[in-house]
Amino acid sequence: MGAPRLSSTPLPGIGVRYDLTTRERRRISVVAHRDGGRTLSAYREDDPDACALSVRLSAGEATALSDALTPDHHSPNLLSTTELGLVAERIELASTSHWNGRLLGDTRMRTETGASIVAVLRRSEAIPSPAPDFRLVGGDTLIVIGTREGVESAAAILGRE
C-alpha cells in the first residue's frame, strides 16, 4: 500500500486546490476559496478524473468538518458520551434570541430538557460550569450535553426569539 499523497495548486482569483490521493488510490480534492468557504470533491474509483460528489461548504461548515476529522480533544481517558446514549453539541445563541441578556437559570434548561449547559464559549474565553446567575449574551456558544432529544429541545429553547 502506498502512502497518501497531498499536493496543492494555486487557483488565481479563487484560492488553492488541495488534492489527496489515498493509499487506496482514491482522489479527493478541497478548494480553499478566498472567502473562507471550501468545496470538497470526491472522484470516481473507476475514473479518477470524473467527479462523483462535490459539496460547497461555508467557512463554519468547513471548520466543523475539520474538527470532526481531527478531534484534538480525543483521548482514551475521556468519557465517551455516545456509548452512554449522550451527545454533546455546540449551540450558538443568536443576538436576536429571547435569552440574550437573560440569566442562564431563567431558561430552566435542565428542568425542561434534562440537558445541561456544561460550558460557554465567549470570544476567546471558555467559561466552564456556568452558574444559574450567569448572564447569556448573543454570540455565546453553549456546550450542551444530554440525550439526543434533550439537546434538540435545548436548541429549540435557545433558538426562541
For residue 59, the SS3 value is helix
Compute CA distances 99 → 36, 124, 125, whole Å.
30, 21, 20
In percent, how much of the chain has pLDDT > 90?
43
80 burial via Cβ count (<10 Å: 0-12, 13-18, 19+): exposed
- Say which CATH topology domain 81-158 has: Alpha-Beta Plaits (3.30.70)
Query: So where are the chain's domains?
Result: 5-69, 81-158
Name residues whose C-beta falls within 8 Å of residue 66's C-beta, 6 or more positions apart in sequence: none
Quickly list H helices, 19-143: 59-69, 109-113
- What are 24-78's pLDDT values in tens digits? 888 899 999 888 889 999 999 888 789 999 999 988 888 888 877 776 555 444 4
Residue 80 has pLDDT above 70, yes or no: no
Sign of CA dihedral 145, 150, 155, 158: negative
